[in-house]
Amino acid sequence: MDKPQSIFSTLPAERSLSLTLEAEVMLDADTGIPSLVASADPQLADFADVSPAGLRRMVAAARTQLAEFERLADEQEARDTLAALLAEHEMRVEEWDTGNLEPAMRSHIKAVHDPTVGDGRTIVVPAGQDPIDRLAAVRSVIEGMRGAA
């Protein structure tokens, strides 16, 4: 394995999500007939007539994007919870690049702790690990350490 990195995460520090959906019923100035118009562009550049089915497709696409917003919140909550858990147990996480391992082994390594190495307060995790998976793995290791004590 490569030299361990003493950093919290190699995941991108920033990730931005945006969602725009504008819809309304407008009256045609000439005929007075209502029509449905909608746009998913922040500048409303594509604001145009849309069928009810078309608006429903736009809503479905927006729901998919909203799931990404939820995921963003879940990931940040996992990072915050992990930081608190590590502080509570006076532990730290060290990321290692597991890319040199065989794929079968690499996929099974979630978190490793060896109390006989260093001061025994380091939990090794794969670099770039999903924050939610990392929290679960570190929590499991800490629970195992408590059970062993």
Specify if 37 maps to a domain. Answer: yes
Instruction: Count structural domains, the chain.
Output: 2
Domain that holds residue 40: 22-73
Query: Do both 86 and 64 map to the same domain?
Result: no
Give the pLDDT score at 148.
60
pLDDT, tens digit, 9 for 90 and up, residues 28-59: 889 999 999 999 999 888 889 999 999 999 99
| Contacts of range 77-82, beta carbons closer than 8 Å, 24 or more positions apart | 78/131, 78/132, 78/134, 78/135, 79/8, 79/9, 79/131, 79/135, 81/135, 82/131, 82/134, 82/135, 82/138
* Weakest mean pLDDT among 19-28, 56-65, 73-82, 110-119: 110-119
On whether the CB atoms of residues 69 and 19 are closer than 8 A, the answer is: yes
Task: Report the pLDDT averaged over residues 114-139.
Answer: 93
Give the integer Cα–Cα distance in Å for 129 and 131: 6
